[in-house]
Amino acid sequence: MSLRRRIAYASGSAGFQITDRIVVAIAIFYYLPPGDSDLVPQVGQAQFLGVLTAFGAARLLGGLVDSLADPLVGWASDRSRSRFGRRRVFLLAGIGPMVLAPVLLFFPPGLPGSGLNFAWLTTLLAIYYIFFTAYVGPYLALLPEIAVNERERVSLSTLMAIVAVVVVGLYGGGWLAGVEAGRRGLGLDTEQALRLVVVGSSALALVLCLGPIVAIDERRLVRTAAVMSMRTALATTLRNRPFLVYLGAQILFVFGITLITPMGPYYAIAIAGRDEGFAALLALLPGPGVFLGFWWIGRAAARHGPKKILVACATALGVLFSLQGLLVPDVPGGPHDRTNLLILFGVGALWGLPAAGFLVLPHVVLGQMIDLDAARTRAHRAAMYFGAQGLLTKWVYGLATALLAWLFIAFGNSSDRALGVVLVGPLAGLLCLASAAVYALYPERRVLSERLALERVDPA
């Protein structure tokens, strides 16, 4: 595949990750803003069932819908014989609603705190996640089909990560800078500036997500469609013990990284006593480390294997995130300001290197198990593996966001009551360390040796 087509395929990853950042990071900032912001909470902040808030419940329901959709989409894509391509037809179906729903989130029809806004949020999250799954599951299933060995998968996964980091990394700080520019340059209030940023971001996501639809011609791929029933396909996938170990590690990592991802504005405003522009600067700090990691990851994985590198990366992230538990709310020039800045800038500059490992290598490890399954079943069921992964990990996104919302309500997210913000780093760090421990149990050598043995017996 030419470099131009590879870049076009990789652009899809950047596109759907922008929509994800809107839903995960910007939506919580809009619906549950920091106490020192001029935004008004759009849903009620009362707790029910002990720990759930309205935002947390909506996010959890969205994650549940998403997780249930994953295996259905994976099974249908593996069995599809559409003339548009068994993956491409799903990309076409999912792209429109996936980029439109995040925009509508920022135009709630009711008064702040109303039940109508809760219903609006919950419905749009469910719609978004159904069509996000319709696009992303088959998109990822293409990877082991167009990159047929581990070296090609590391290369293509790295390219996907580079494109995503360039776009999403700039966007991570850019949306905050865009809000600031809208307020100061255009005279908009924060809500209007936020809406302008979201509309522009979704338009960019649409263009990027069209890349793989245009670039990949599935007629060139010779792949055997699966014929298993939904129940048999899912059961067969979940009987793969190495896959279950991998899933356990990924669940823990996803939980931790989802907790820490939206924290930039809260660290800037509630901890450091600064504004969204400072949060944009924090968002850019991991960039150099990530690119250094891309250079290092491929070489290290070739020498030591993806498993060992993932264990090392998860351990490093666990230690770094835990350091954020030492933060103390202060103002610029205050007694704790220098220590806060040292932690925020130090952790921000360092965590990009190990994060690069998780941007590249999980797809490679999953590809090992997909190849083993193909050798066992003589069918190509990549989408079901990504679907089963979604079934057991997507609810974690909702659970993590619900936990984050509860921490903010129960312990505070403002400068005068910031324990909810301070607790996030140690919790995320603990989850990353647990992920490292589980990844250490993944039987990489056995998976590779069994696949090779089966291919020698039946090389067809």
- Residue 112: predicted pLDDT: 87
Question: Which whole-number Å values give the CA distances from 132 to 156, 160, 234, 306, 333, in the listed order?
Answer: 21, 18, 20, 28, 44
- Residue 134: predicted pLDDT: 92
Q: What is the distance between the alpha carbons of residues 221 and 107, in angstroms, rounded to a whole number?
A: 43
Q: What is the distance between the alpha carbons of residues 175 and 196, in angstroms, rounded to a whole number?
A: 10
Asked whether 340 and 272 are in contact (CB, 8 A), the reply is yes
Residues 6+ apart with CB under 8 A from 261: 21, 24, 25
Give just the sign of the alpha carbon dihedral 17, 92, 231, 127.
positive
- Residue 95: predicted pLDDT: 96
Q: What is 3-453's CATH number, 1.10.1740.10, 3.30.70.270, 1.20.1740.10, 1.20.1250.20?
A: 1.20.1250.20
pLDDT per 10-residue tile (average), the chain, 460 residues: 83 89 84 78 70 77 80 84 83 95 94 89 91 91 79 82 72 74 86 90 93 82 63 83 94 94 90 86 86 86 92 97 96 94 96 90 89 81 82 79 86 90 96 97 93 73
- Residue 171: predicted pLDDT: 66
Give me the residue label for tokens 């776009």: 167
Q: What is the distance between the alpha carbons of residues 397 and 22, in angstroms, rounded to a whole number?
A: 14
Name the strand (E) or helix (H) holding 281: helix 276-284
- Residue 2: predicted pLDDT: 76
- Residue 191: predicted pLDDT: 87
Tokens matching residue 135: 């696009």
- Residue 222: predicted pLDDT: 54
**Nearest C-alpha neighbor of 424 from the set 436, 442, 408, 438:** 408
Tokens matching residue 163: 């494109």
Q: For the chain, state the CA radius of gyration.
A: 22
Q: What is the distance between the alpha carbons of residues 198 and 126, in angstroms, rounded to a whole number?
A: 19
pTM score, whole prediction:
0.75
